[in-house]
Amino acid sequence: ISFALRDALPRGALKLNKEVTKISQSENGVSINYKDTMSGAEMTTTGDYLISTIPYAVVTEIENDFSADIIDAMKTPAPSEVAKFGLQMKSRFWEVEDMIYGGVSTTSVAGNIAYPSADLHGTNGGVLLASYLFGGRSNNFSAMNMDEKIEYALSAGELVHPGQYRKNFNGKAAGIIWQDEKYNKSGWSSWRGDSIKKLPTILKGEKRVLFSGDCISPRLSGWMAGAIEGAWITIAELDKRVGMG
């Protein structure tokens, strides 16, 4: 879906490897300072409006002239600490031996183990989501080196699939720990309890700045569906502003 949305944009509309360093606004427009992360060159662009989908934990640390109420509202939802780690297997033993086709196994050690629902009965093995960890366990996982991460995932998986997990691992692994990513700093924003009362402040936005993304859809935060729902909300608000202007 994300690639289809990208391909529907006019050529040149997307600028990659650009780090926003400053956001400033006036009654008539907005100015964005950004840095090319490849060359280090600094540039500025301007526009009538800005729609920011930068995660709250990141955008609140960028130099800006947002109101104190907006900053407070964006710092209210809790940043989620989340880690995902995958192992590549030589065979699809979970299908052959256990008749598992997609879905997850929930463990008390590695969180969820998720099985691929594509290429069923394929002959080239597959990648298992071997550890899906939250909160303190994701932080503990973050502190491990790669060899330790692999051993942690293998040991947990061997409890679920004894005699198969470790034997079928082909030595390749990869993962992401969202709170460690410079441009994420969390998996998603979690609105809990009365924190949701601050959401209308964010939906209202600033003079020339609106905030969008999955984080303005509390029940779908962290999901692509939430980002789409957030886009609908923001488009409606922008349409009202442009119409009044």
Q: Give tens-digit pLDDT for 6-57.
A: 999 999 899 999 999 999 999 899 999 999 999 999 999 999 999 999 999 9
Q: Residue 154's closest CA among 134, 133, 136, 171?
A: 171
pLDDT > 90 in the chain, percent: 87
Per-residue pLDDT at 159 exceeds 70:
yes
CA dist 51 and 202 (Å) reads 12
**245 band by pLDDT with thresholds 50, 70 and 90:** low
pLDDT > 70 in the chain, percent: 100
Phi, psi of 77 (to 5 degrees): -65, 145
**Residue 57 CB partners (closer than 8 Å, separation 6+):** 79, 184, 185, 186, 189
CA dist 190 and 79 (Å) reads 6
Both tokens of residue 118?
């594509």
Q: Is 7 helix (H, G, I), strand (E, B) or coil?
A: helix
pLDDT in tens, 83-133: 999 999 999 999 999 999 999 999 988 889 999 999 999 999 999 999 999
CA dist 236 and 175 (Å) reads 37
pLDDT in the model for residue 98: 93
